[in-house]
């Protein structure tokens, strides 16, 4: 305000500078008052504006380099947030980290647009221009603590919410493995409401995936995929049924799939196990199967060309067997290379709706 006071004295008639025209003096006075309003005596709003611009400028792509922040700026952050940072010295997923990270293209510049103050809460909105030239809106909430304003990043609260969202995602993934797709989607939607647009959780991508699975679902756990044969222009149809559980390959776990298909007008029924199966010199393998509580029966099967699957002989007859047990299950004991045989279980519910699709494709 010093410049304004100088101008006011300057414009008094008895001033030694009364040779300057009063019009020019008034113009100068207005300009100085405007500058004073912007950069002079700030008050709460001005201080919030300055603090917010400094904090925003230290933001490096959603993270802060705390080692580069002056101590007085650190004191403008809520103590609960600082305490939370001290518990996580290697960084925090909620958006603040202590490890320096060089910003692309240099430091950011921030200009405050609005300052809103209500009792002990305030919000500053800014325009942030990154060192890479990107421009984005930026908002910092503040809370008044012991008469001083502190930036409130809600870090402990955000981490608690994020942990809840991660828990929901894990539940959804488990439901997906058991093909309870509708329930899985509900869990993903709940997680999305808690953390919308979180780039780390990628919930939107998960929802897109589950929607795609639901769209392909035929009945029960059966899903359909198809493609146009480039040589015949006919539709190649694949009906896929995942096993009820994973099996161990010795190095990892895989989920076998029962595949009923019609390719180039020919039917096939196979079990794809994603690991090498045992076979004889005739590229055949002896397995065992049983439907529901029936006695186990031996069966000779042809191995896939990559040795990661087994094909049933006379697939059309097997289609009828599967449909006849559409309310039950099929257990197949698969001989694995260099390992003991492993039993794979398939829930056949919905086979009476799925298998006819393959038959119809092969009848054309």
Question: What is the residue-wise DSSP string for 23-63?
Answer: HHHHHHHHHHHHHHHHHS--HHHHHHHHHHHHHHHTBSSS-
Helix (H) or strand (E) holding 187: helix 181-194
Q: What tokens appear for 299 in the block?
A: 């069966």
Q: What is the pLDDT of residues 67-86, one digit of tens each?
A: 778 888 888 999 888 888 77
Predicted local confidence at residue 351, as pLDDT: 96
Predicted local confidence at residue 52, as pLDDT: 94
pLDDT value at 96 more than 90: no
**CA separation for the pair 324, 328 (Å, rounded):** 9
pLDDT bracket for residue 90 (50, 70, 90) = very low
- pTM of the model as a whole: 0.68
Predicted local confidence at residue 64, as pLDDT: 65
Q: Residue 28 class from Cβ within 10 Å (0-12 exposed, 13-18 middle, 19+ buried)?
A: middle
Share of the chain above pLDDT 70, in %: 81
Report the alpha-carbon angle 276-280-286, nearest 5: 80
**DSSP β-bridge partners for residue 289:** 297, 332
Strand intervals (E) in the chain: 109-118, 121-129, 135-145, 148-151, 217-219, 222-228, 235-242, 247-248, 253-254, 257-263, 266-272, 284-291, 297-303, 309-312, 329-334, 342-347
Mean pLDDT of 330-352: 91
Q: What is the pLDDT of residues 161-186, one digit of tens each?
A: 999 999 999 999 999 988 899 999 99
Are the C-beta atoms of residues 128 and 56 closer than 8 Å to each other? yes
Q: What is the pLDDT of residues 184-235, one digit of tens each?
A: 999 999 999 999 988 889 999 999 999 999 999 999 999 999 998 888 888 8
**CA separation for the pair 142, 140 (Å, rounded):** 7
Mean pLDDT of 109-138: 92
Q: What tokens appear for 245 in the block?
A: 């559980």
Predicted local confidence at residue 350, as pLDDT: 95
Predicted local confidence at residue 305, as pLDDT: 86
Instruction: Return the axis-axis angle of helices 203-216 and 181-194, rounded to nearest 10°.
Output: 160
**CA separation for the pair 278, 310 (Å, rounded):** 10
149 or 100: which leads in pLDDT = 149
Report the alpha-carbon angle 91-93-99, nearest 5: 20
Mean pLDDT of 311-322: 95
Predicted local confidence at residue 279, as pLDDT: 80
pLDDT value at 8 more than 70: no
Lowest mean pLDDT among 2-6, 247-251, 289-293, 307-311: 2-6
Mean pLDDT estimate for the chain: 83
Mean pLDDT of 155-162: 90
pLDDT bracket for residue 105 (50, 70, 90) = low
Q: What is the pLDDT of residues 290-316, one digit of tens each?
A: 999 999 999 999 999 888 889 999 999
pLDDT value at 88 more than 70: no
Mean pLDDT of 347-355: 96
pLDDT value at 145 more than 90: yes
**CA separation for the pair 128, 139 (Å, rounded):** 10
Reading phi first (left if > 0) and then psi (alpha if -120 to 50, else beta), residue 56 is in alpha
Q: Residue 301 class from Cβ within 10 Å (0-12 exposed, 13-18 middle, 19+ buried)?
A: buried
Query: How many residues does the structure list for the chain?
Result: 364
Lowest mean pLDDT among 3-12, 80-89, 165-174, 318-327: 3-12
Instruction: Give the closest residue to 311 by CA, choosing from 348, 266, 247, 341.
Output: 266
> In this structure, how many other beta carbons lie within 10 angstroms of the beta carbon of residue 87?
10
Helix (H) or strand (E) holding 188: helix 181-194
Q: What is the pLDDT of residues 24-61, one digit of tens each?
A: 544 544 444 444 444 444 588 999 999 999 999 887 65
**CA separation for the pair 261, 358 (Å, rounded):** 6
pLDDT value at 12 more than 70: no
């Amino acid at each position: 305000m010093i410049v304004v006071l100088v101008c006011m004295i300057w414009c008094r008639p008895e001033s030694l500078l009364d040779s300057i025209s009063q019009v020019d003096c008034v113009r100068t006075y207005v300009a100085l008052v405007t500058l004073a309003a912007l950069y002079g005596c700030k008050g709460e709003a001005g201080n919030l504006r300055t603090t917010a611009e400094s904090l925003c400028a230290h933001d490096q792509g959603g993270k802060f380099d705390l080692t580069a922040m002056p101590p007085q700026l650190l004191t403008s952050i809520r103590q609960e947030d600082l305490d939370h940072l001290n518990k996580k010295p290697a960084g925090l997923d909620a958006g603040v980290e202590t490890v320096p990270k060089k910003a692309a293209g240099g430091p950011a510049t921030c200009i405050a647009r609005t300052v809103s103050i209500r009792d002990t809460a305030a919000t500053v909105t800014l325009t942030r221009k990154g060192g890479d030239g990107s421009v984005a809106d930026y908002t910092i909430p503040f809370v008044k603590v012991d008469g001083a304003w502190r930036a409130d990043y809600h870090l402990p609260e955000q981490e608690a919410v994020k942990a809840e969202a991660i828990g929901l995602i894990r539940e959804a993934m488990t439901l997906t493995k058991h093909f309870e797709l509708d329930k899985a989607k509900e869990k993903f939607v709940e997680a999305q409401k808690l953390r919308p647009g979180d780039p780390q959780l990628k919930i939107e991508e998960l929802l897109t995936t589950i929607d795609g699975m639901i769209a392909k679902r035929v009945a029960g756990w059966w899903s359909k995929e198809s493609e146009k044969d480039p040589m015949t222009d006919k539709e190649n149809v694949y009906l896929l049924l995942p096993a009820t559980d994973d099996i161990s390959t010795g190095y990892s776990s895989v989920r076998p799939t029962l595949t009923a298909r019609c390719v180039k007008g020919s039917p096939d029924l196979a079990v794809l196990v994603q690991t090498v199966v045992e076979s004889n010199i005739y590229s055949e393998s002896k397995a065992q199967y049983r439907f529901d509580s029936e006695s186990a029966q031996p069966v000779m099967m042809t191995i896939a060309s990559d040795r990661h699957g087994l094909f049933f002989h006379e697939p059309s007859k097997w289609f009828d067997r599967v449909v006849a047990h559409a309310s039950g299950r099929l257990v197949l004991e698969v001989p694995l290379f260099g390992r003991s045989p492993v039993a794979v279980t398939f829930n056949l519910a919905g086979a009476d709706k799925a298998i006819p699709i393959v038959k119809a494709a092969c009848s054309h």
